[in-house]
Chains A and B, each alone.
Chain A
Amino acid sequence: MDKLIQDLKERLIEILNLSDVSPDEIDENAQLVGGDLGIDSIDVLEMVVMVEKDYGVVINNKEIGEKVFSTLSALADYIHKNSPKAAS
């Protein structure tokens, strides 16, 4: 799980171009959208693409999306439980 969280931090910095942030500075339990990182709805959609592409996990429901993207730990947890790799 820790490795997944670390991976996600690095992926987030890369796809959202958070060049002024290091992985250690991201608090996985802090509010992800609308929090200190300045992440908004378009970033969330970019993360949806990344989660499907890199982890094979589809998030296409607004209600689930809101829960999953509440914090980075919640996202890691959801990927962990739903990833086809995790199941195998």
Chain B
Amino acid sequence: MSLQKKVYIAGIGLISPLGCGLQETESSLQKNSSFISPLDPSVFQTRQPPPLPVGQVRQLQETDTLPRTHNLAIQAAHQAMEGFSFAPDAVIIGTTTGGILSTEELLNAGVKDPAQYRYHGLQTVAEETAKSLQCQGAALTVSTACSSGTVAISMALKMLQSGEAEYILAGGVDSLCRLSYYGFHSLQLVDLKGSRPLDKERQGMSVAEGASLLLLTTVQTDRSLARILGCGLSCDAHHAAAPHPEGRGAAEAMQKAMENGKIRSADVDYINLHGTGTPDNDLAESRAIRSLFPEPPPLSSVKGATGHSLAASGAVEAAIATICIRENFIPANTGCHTVDPECGVNPVLQPRQSPLTTVLSNSFGFGGNNACLLIADTSHPAPPEESPPSLPLTILGKACITGAGHTEESMERFSRLEGIAGVLDGKALVRTLPARAVRRLGRFSKMALAIADAALQDSGCSEPPDSVFMGTGWGALTETFNFLDKLRESNEKFPSPIDFVGSVHNSAAGQTAIMHSATGSNITSSGGNYSFEEAVLAADTFLENRSPGAFLLAADEAHPELSRLFDPSVTAETTPADGGGGFYVSRKAVADTIALRLRFFRRAHQGSTARLAEAVAENGENNKQCTMILAGIPADEAAVGEKQLDDFMQLTGLDVPVIHYRKFTGEFTSASAVAAVMAVHLLEEGVVSASSRILVLGFGRSLTAMEFFRQ
């Protein structure tokens, strides 16, 4: 068995309220002072003075065309790539805000032109960053609330360890916006005096912004900055917005990171806390630490200095951990004057020099999404893990929702080659779900829960899986719209806490975890028309051979106002359509079941169709011949997509039926999840021979290939 590769940090781009780059950040941290100040109207004007204290970036190079989040990401990306004359193999960005700050302004101004909203989608941050770096590989987006940046780095780490890539640029970014500014305030989680983590008098967090992107590589040079030893992911499966009171999931993520990095708790020299300053987070995190560390190492939260930059925070703190290791420096827990005795930990109250080689960095978020990184000196002796055998994802159960109904109704109509596009009635959607459990949820979360529930039923398994991998193009449109609508209507006085909690992209995956007590990895990916494929990639990257399995899902809701503005494939003439699909998957090979492999995922550019053809031309799993293609060409990319498909057919010489699945499903970003269920249905029903494989291909801005076959 071969060993996994070691992963190093080759470059860092960092922009936060503390400044730009590692040096400025370090000297700001040395001052042990807060960089939190009242919101400056240059970011946005509040209608409810006085402005709340926030962590604001002061050195952003703004552009006229791109939203603030995108500019932050691109500036950090170029900083990270300084001194490297090539593009990374892939870009993975964690973000929760995307283009929302610009969208808020457009909606407030009543702008109806969809072109103005073209940078709203979360995936456009990674796409624009990749474009700016001329990266031709995949541009991927993770959205797991405040752990997004850490999860993005974890994903890059795993992909590099397995040898899938040599250089990946990964991290997190978020800009200030009304949604998070008023949203956290509505939850009474904002400290009006500025964040004071672990302080007895702490009242909450300070919403902030920033970007940090790390160039990660398997190539060690004398310029390498640090090594990433391991990561750990978990889900509380407890509450949509509050942490588990004992820090159960937090402890599990820290434990996993140490196991993954092959070190003992006594070997951790410093813990960089999530430490937001909210009473609940700091207490739960302290309890988790005390449960794992009989004598905790030096620890501190930097969020009293930086504020909480949400999706960026984990990546910003990974960069700060690198500073700590390089400079033998421990930053102070800025803002804490009297340590809360209930927390029972002793944060570092003054910055100090101290020799250290290994840092544990914590990030926790809404939906109970926890992620921890273990970062060490480049010469750290921890050996890499053995490479596990590469097994496909076995499909134990399937389910979908379309305009035609649930799985059975949808597949029955599809079998008769009838359209299944439409918007399923809300009552029919939740037929199997307990009314009380879904009362606060919008359409998007309800769809995810209904698909997960049906996939579990279909599997016949008594035990649900422990992990969730979810894709969505637009997330919770209903909650997002309602939150901003009520905010505007009330002159920004009455934001709704329920709408805010539901508006995050990972709300559906978090609810799925709560309903099924799934405490393993929980990742929401947002890749526009390739969101399901991104979820497959995440599952492929994180689902361990020993895990009981995972829900692999994607869903998107049609919204009467927003779908037409955001999704360029949806026009006034389009039949409104939504839905999604998914599976209960496992790594365990079960005889006579259908399996799934993701064969290809790259941004489209000159020559990439040839690479796609090359990747799928091999006979695939067990020499099975491709006998059918389900092709996904979004309406707004019809010309480009048709050309790519024609080229692909010519290059492969395949002479097999091609089904344009969007003609059946209608236009919505998660349509490929329904196509995946169609492929499994066709194999199960024997419409194609048992010894063949079906390809589900995605065309347009990216090129993707999923392969389904009987094993």
Within 8 Å CB of A88, what residues of B? none
**Separation in Å of the A41 CB from the closest CB of chain B?**
7
* Cα–Cα distance between A40 and B440 once the two chains are bound (Å): 11
Asked if A17 meets B439 with Cβ closer than 8 Å, knowing A42-B187, A49-B186, the reply is yes
* B residues near A15, Cβ cutoff 8 Å: 498
Q: Which of A17, A18, A43 has the most CB of B within 10 A?
A: A17
For window 469-514 of chain B, which residues contact chain A by CB distance below 8 Å? 490, 493-498, 501
How far apart are the CA atoms of A35 and B436 in the complex, in Å? 13
In the complex, what distance in Å separates the CA atom of A45 from the CA atom of B240? 14
A45 to B440, CA, bound (A): 13
Q: Is the CB of B186 within 8 A of A16?
A: no
A45 close to B497 (CB less than 8 A): yes
Contact B498 A43 (CB under 8 A): yes
A16 and B237 alpha carbons, distance in the complex (Å): 22
A46 CA / B439 CA spacing, docked (Å): 14
Task: Tell whether B435 is near chain A: CB-to-CB under 8 Å.
Answer: yes
Q: Tell me if B688 counts as interface (CB < 8 A to partner A).
A: no
Whether A20 lies near B498 (C-beta < 8 A) is no
Among candidates A18, A42, A49, A53, residue contacting B240 with C-beta atoms closer than 8 Å: A42
**With contacts A41-B242, A42-B240, A42-B241 known, is A49 near B436, CB below 8 A?**
no
For chain A residues 38-75, which have a beta carbon within 8 Å of chain B? 38, 40-43, 45-46, 49, 52-53, 60
Give Cα A9 to B435, complex, Å.
Answer: 18
Identity of the chain B residue whose Cβ is nearest the Cβ of A36 in the assembled complex: B436
Which residues of B sit under 8 angstroms from A41, Cβ to Cβ? 242
At the interface, yes or no: B619 with Cβ under 8 Å from chain A?
A: no
Q: Could you tell me if B186 and A45 are in contact, using CB atoms closer than 8 angstroms?
A: yes
CA gap between A31 and B320 in the complex, in Å: 47
Cβ of B574 within 8 Å of any chain A Cβ, yes or no, is no
How many angstroms from the CA of A16 to the CA of B497 in the assembled complex? 11
Shortest distance from the beta carbon of A13 to any chain B beta carbon, whole Å: 10
- Decide if A42 touches B494 in the complex (CB within 8 Å): no
Chain A residues with CB under 8 A of B239: 40
- Residues of chain B in range 165-192 having any CB-CB distance to chain A below 8 Å: 186-188
What 0/1 pattern do residues 178 to 220 of B give for CB contact below 8 A with A? 0000000011100000000000000000000000000000000
Partner of B497, one of A17, A19, A20, A46: A46
Residue of B nearest to A18 (CB): B439
Report Cα–Cα, A43/B440, bound state, in Å. Answer: 9
In the assembled complex, the Cα of A27 lies from the Cα of B549 at a distance in Å of 43
Q: How far is the CA of A53 from the CA of B439 in the complex (A)?
A: 22
Q: Which of the residues A18, A38, A53 comes within 8 Å of B490, measured between beta carbons? A: A53
How long is the Cα–Cα vector from A46 to B440 in the complex, in angstroms? 11
| Across-interface contacts of A20 in B (CB, < 8 A) | 435-436, 439
Instruction: Please provide the chain A residues from 5 to 32 with a CB less than 8 Å away from any CB of chain B in the complex.
Output: 15-20
Interface size class of B (residues with CB under 8 A): 10 to 19
In the complex the two chains form, what is the Cα distance from A34 to B346 in whole Å?
34
Closest to A54 in B: B494
Produce 1/0 per residue, B234-263, CB < 8 A to A. 000001111000000000000000000000
Name the distance in Å between A29's Cβ and chain B's nearest Cβ: 21
Given A42-B187, A42-B501, A49-B186, decide whether A19 and B496 contact each other with a Cβ distance below 8 A.
Answer: no
Interchain nearest-CB distance for A57 vs B (Å): 13
Q: Which of the residues B186, B242, B440, B495 comes within 8 Å of A17, measured between beta carbons?
A: B440
Check if B496 sits within 8 Å of A46, measured CB to CB: yes
Complex Cα distance, B242 from A67, in Å, reads 21
The reply to whether A19 and B498 contact each other, CB–CB distance below 8 Å, is no
A56-B493 Cα distance, complex, nearest whole Å? 12
User: Which residues of chain B have C-beta atoms less than 8 A from A53's C-beta?
Assistant: 490, 493-494
Which residue of B has the minimal Cβ distance to A52? B494
Report the minimal beta-carbon distance from B8 to chain A, rounded to whole angstroms.
Answer: 42
Residues of B within 8 A of A43 (CB): 440, 498
Min distance, Cβ B415 to any Cβ of chain A, angstroms: 35
CB distance B498 to A42 under 8 Å? Answer: yes
Shortest Cβ distance from residue B243 to the other chain A in the assembled complex, whole angstroms: 12
Which residues of the partner chain A approach B497 to less than 8 Å between Cβ atoms?
42, 45-46, 49
CB-defined contacts of B439 to chain A, threshold 8 Å: 16-20, 38
The answer to whether A49 touches B496 (Cβ under 8 A) is yes
Q: How far is the CB of A14 from chain B (nearest CB, A)?
A: 11
Residues of B within 8 A of A18 (CB): 439
Q: Measured between C-beta atoms, what is the minimum distance from A23 to chain B in Å?
A: 16
Min Cβ gap B534→A in Å is 29
Closest to A53 in B: B494
Which residues does chain A contribute within 8 Å of B496, judged by CB atoms?
A: 46, 49
CB distance from A17 to the nearest CB of B (A): 4
Q: Report A-chain residues with C-beta under 8 Å of the C-beta of B493.
A: 53
Q: What is the bound-complex CA distance between A52 and B494, given in angstroms?
A: 9
Q: Quick one: closest B residue to A45, CB to CB?
A: B497
Q: Digitize B383-412: 1 where CB-to-A-CB distance is under 8 Å, 0 elsewhere.
A: 000000000000000000000000000000
Q: How far apart are the CA atoms of A45 and B186 in the complex, in Å? A: 7
Q: Which residue of A lies closest to B280 (CB)?
A: A41
Which of chain B's residues have a CB closer than 8 A to the CB of A46? 496-498
CA distance A43 to B498 in the complex (A): 7
Chain A contacts for B242, CB-based, 8 A: 41
Tell me the residues in window 262-307 of chain B with beta carbons closer than 8 Å to chain A beta carbons. Answer: none
Q: How far is the CA of A56 from the CA of B241 in the complex (A)?
A: 27
Bound: A60/B185 CA distance, A: 12
Q: Complex: how many Å from CA A42 to CA B500? A: 10
Contacts of A17 in B (CB 8 A): 439-440
- Closest B residue to A40 using CB positions: B239
Q: Is the CB of A42 within 8 A of B440?
A: yes
Given contacts A20-B439, A43-B440, A46-B498, 19 further A-B contacts (CB under 8 A): A16-B439, A16-B440, A16-B498, A17-B439, A17-B440, A18-B439, A19-B435, A19-B439, A40-B239, A42-B440, A42-B498, A42-B501, A45-B186, A45-B187, A46-B497, A49-B186, A52-B494, A53-B490, A53-B493
B residues sitting closer than 8 Å to A (CB atoms) are: 186-188, 239-242, 435-436, 439-440, 490, 493-498, 501
* Chain A to chain B contacts (Cβ below 8 Å), 16 pairs: A15-B498, A16-B440, A17-B440, A18-B439, A19-B435, A20-B439, A38-B436, A41-B242, A42-B241, A42-B497, A42-B501, A43-B498, A45-B186, A46-B496, A49-B497, A53-B493
Pick the 10 closest A-B CB pairs, nearest first. A45-B497, A17-B439, A20-B435, A46-B498, A53-B494, A49-B494, A46-B497, A38-B436, A42-B497, A42-B501
